[in-house]
A = this chain, B = another copy of it.
Amino acid sequence: MLMLQDNSPLYTALRKLERHGRLSDDDRRAFLALPVTEERVRAGDHVVRQGDQPQDCALLLSGFAFRHKMTADGERQIVSFHLRGDMLDLQQLLLRRADHNVQMLTDGQLCRIPVIAFRKVCRERAAVAEALWLDSLIDASIFREWVLNVGRRDARSRIAHLLCELGTRWESAGLGPADHFELPLTQEQLADATGLTSVHVNRVLQSLGVLGLIDRERRLIKVPDWAGLQRVAGFTADYLHQEPQESVRT
């Protein structure tokens, strides 16, 4: 078995990619050998801008990021949040032009992988391509859940659902327990993610507090009643596809 190099910035990503199935030593080696450039970024920095044609893919090493789009008349909608280990613009591997923005929520660190080298590895190592493809399928599943969330849940369960998702992903990214996580979002950003206004988000957060479902202190969320929050949200984690896939073997 290949000794893993914990010091490679790609190791975090590799661990996430292997969540659904081991790669061979050759696959790991090829992936870890990708050329990268690390980069320190500040809250608010753009990682990708709509219309860009970036020549590299970004991997989030630390900090929080988010994707968002805007309507013609300037309304913003956040479409996803990203934690350590997430690939931020995997789609740039195959799609030329970015159709949305990716921006840092907090200070953090990311590394950039040149598209050309990345594509080469994908073409030569089918299992690596497959793991990355799977990753983008899970992203897509999360987007579908978000459509359901903003389309068919009322404000309270909508926000509760988002909190459940973030807690669950926080835990599965190895950052801590799901019921005690960082939420480095202003209420306006929370509103942009849920299709509400910041005023209403404020009222709903308070009501969730009164119900004993969440405790807020600064940008930290504690969930004293996880089952209750889940019930209000109608949350089940299946759409995150976190379990190993035990998928059909060829």
Given contacts A129-B126, A134-B94, contact A151 B77 (CB under 8 A): yes
Least CB distance, A33 to chain B, in whole angstroms:
16
A115: interface (CB < 8 Å): yes
Q: Contact string, A226-249, partner B, CB cutoff 8 A, digits 1/0?
A: 000000001010110100011110
Q: Contact string, A135-156, partner B, CB cutoff 8 A, digits 1/0?
A: 0111111011111101111000
How many monomers of this chain does the complex have?
2
When distances are taken between beta carbons in the complex, the residues of chain B under 8 Å from A136 are: 133, 136-137, 140
A22: interface (CB < 8 Å): no
CB of B94 within 8 A of CB of A247, answer yes
CB of B77 within 8 A of CB of A148, answer yes
| Given A129-B130, A143-B143, A151-B195, 4 other A-B residues pairs in contact with their CB atoms under 8 A | A80-B144, A94-B134, A123-B130, A123-B250
For the complex, give the distance between the alpha carbons of A99 and B140 in Å: 11
CB of B130 within 8 A of CB of A91, answer no
Given contacts A122-B126, A130-B122, A130-B129, contact A139 B141 (CB under 8 A): no
When distances are taken between beta carbons in the complex, the residues of chain B under 8 Å from A90 are: 137
A19: interface (CB < 8 Å): no
| A-B pairs with lowest CB-CB distance, top 6 | A72-B234, A151-B195, A143-B143, A140-B140, A75-B152, A77-B148
Q: Give A residues with C-beta under 8 Å from B.
A: 20, 55, 67, 69-73, 75-77, 79-80, 90-91, 94-97, 99-100, 115-116, 119-120, 122-124, 126-127, 129-130, 132-134, 136-141, 143-148, 150-153, 157, 194-195, 234, 236, 238-239, 241, 245-248, 250
**Nearest neighbor of A114 in chain B, beta-carbon distance:** B248
For the complex, give the distance between the alpha carbons of A129 and B129 in Å: 8
Least CB distance, A67 to chain B, in whole angstroms:
7
Given contacts A99-B238, A152-B77, A234-B72, contact A67 B144 (CB under 8 A): yes
Least CB distance, A189 to chain B, in whole angstroms:
13
For the complex, give the distance between the alpha carbons of A203 and B71 in Å: 23
CB of B148 within 8 A of CB of A79, answer yes
When distances are taken between beta carbons in the complex, the residues of chain B under 8 Å from A138 are: 95
Q: Return the contact of A116 from the options B119, B127, B250 (Cβ within 8 A).
A: B250
Q: Which of A77, A122, A139, A144 has the most CB of B within 10 A?
A: A144
When distances are taken between beta carbons in the complex, the residues of chain B under 8 Å from A75 are: 152-153
